[in-house]
Amino acid sequence: MMPTPEFRLSHFQAMVIFALLISVAFGFLSRRGAYQRARYILWSFVFFLIIGIGIGWAMYPFSH
C-alpha cells in the first residue's frame, strides 16, 4: 500500500476538521430526519468551536 501524503495542519485547522467530522457522525447516529440532523450537526459544530476557542483563551495567561 502506498504511504499516505503527510499533512501539516495548524491547530485551528485540526480543530475544525475534528469538530466537523465528529459533529456529522454524532448527528447521523443520534438523530433521524434531514432537518433534525442538520440542526444537530450545526449546533454541535458551533459549540465544539466555541468551547475549543474558549478553553484556548482560558489557558492563554498560563502560557506567559
Partner 1 sequence: MPDEVPIAETIDPVPVAQSSSYTAEARERHRRDALALTIAAAAWFLPGLGHALLKMWGRALVCFSTVALLVILGAGMRGNIFSRNGEDAFAKLGYVADLGAGSFYFVARALEANGPDVSHANGDYGTRLLATAGVLNMLAALHAYEVARARKA
Residues of this chain that bind partner 1 (CB under 8 A): 1, 3-9, 11, 14, 17-18, 21-22, 24-25, 28-29, 32
Distance separating alpha carbons of residues 34 and 17, to the nearest angstrom: 22
In angstroms, give the least distance from the CB of 57 to partner 1: 18
DSSP tag of 62: G
> What is the smallest separation between the CB atom of 46 and partner 1, expressed in angstroms?
19
Give the closest residue to 39 by CA, choosing from 63, 55, 23, 16: 23
- Among residues 9 and 50, whose Cβ is nearest to partner 1? 9
